[in-house]
Amino acid sequence: MRHGHLVLATSQALGSLGLSSPMNNNEQLRIWLCTSTDCDRLPLGYDYTYLRLLFEPYRINMHQEALPLYLQIASQLRCNIREAVFKVGDRLPTETELSERFGVNRHTLRRAIEVLRQEGIVGVERGRGTFVMADPIAVPIGKRVRFNESLKAQSLQPLWQVLRIVEINADTRLSKRLEIDVGASVLLFERLSSIDDIPINISSSYFPGQHFPRLIDHCQTYRSISKMLQTEYGRDHIRRSTRVSARLAQANDARLLKMPANGPILLSESINVDQTGVVIEYGVTRFRGDRMELVLENEA
Closest CA to 280 of 222, 224, 235: 235
Q: What is the DSSP letter of 91?
A: B
Strand 185-195 with 238-248, pairing: unpaired
Mention the CATH class of domain 11-132: mainly alpha
pLDDT digits (tens, 9 = 90+) for 172-201: 999 999 999 999 999 999 999 988 788 999
CA dist list (Å): 147 to 83, 99, 127, 151: 31, 43, 33, 7
pLDDT digits (tens, 9 = 90+) for 93-118: 999 999 999 999 999 999 999 988 88
Instruction: Please give the sequence-ordered ranges of beta strands (E in DSSP) within the chain, or none if there are none.
Output: 6-10, 29-33, 122-125, 129-132, 137-141, 159-169, 185-195, 198-208, 238-248, 264-273, 279-288, 292-296
Computed over every residue of the chain, the mean pLDDT equals 78
Residue 3 pLDDT exceeds 50: no
pLDDT digits (tens, 9 = 90+) for 196-244: 788 999 999 999 999 999 999 999 889 889 999 999 999 999 999 999 9
Give every CB contact of residue 298 below 8 A, 6+ residues apart in sequence: none
Identify which has the larger pLDDT, 5 or 177: 177
The radius of gyration of the chain from alpha carbons, rounded to an integer in Å, stands at 27
Measured torsion, CA atoms of residues 194, 274, 241, 155, in degrees rounded to the nearest 10: 30
Range list for CATH 3.40.1410.10 in the chain? 137-296
Whether 25 contacts 103, CB under 8 Å: yes
Model confidence, pTM:
0.62
Percentage of residues in the chain having pLDDT higher than 70: 77
The predicted pLDDT at position 168 comes to: 97
pLDDT digits (tens, 9 = 90+) for 246-290: 999 999 999 999 887 778 899 999 999 999 999 999 999 999 887
Q: CATH number for 137-296: choose from 1.10.150.120, 3.40.1410.10, 3.20.20.450, 3.40.1350.10.
A: 3.40.1410.10
DSSP bridge partners of 247: 265
Range list for CATH 1.10.10.10 in the chain? 11-132
Residue 87 pLDDT exceeds 70: yes
Whether 265 contacts 258, CB under 8 Å: no
Round to whole Å and give the CA distance between 164 and 239. Answer: 24
The predicted pLDDT at position 27 comes to: 34
The predicted pLDDT at position 228 comes to: 94
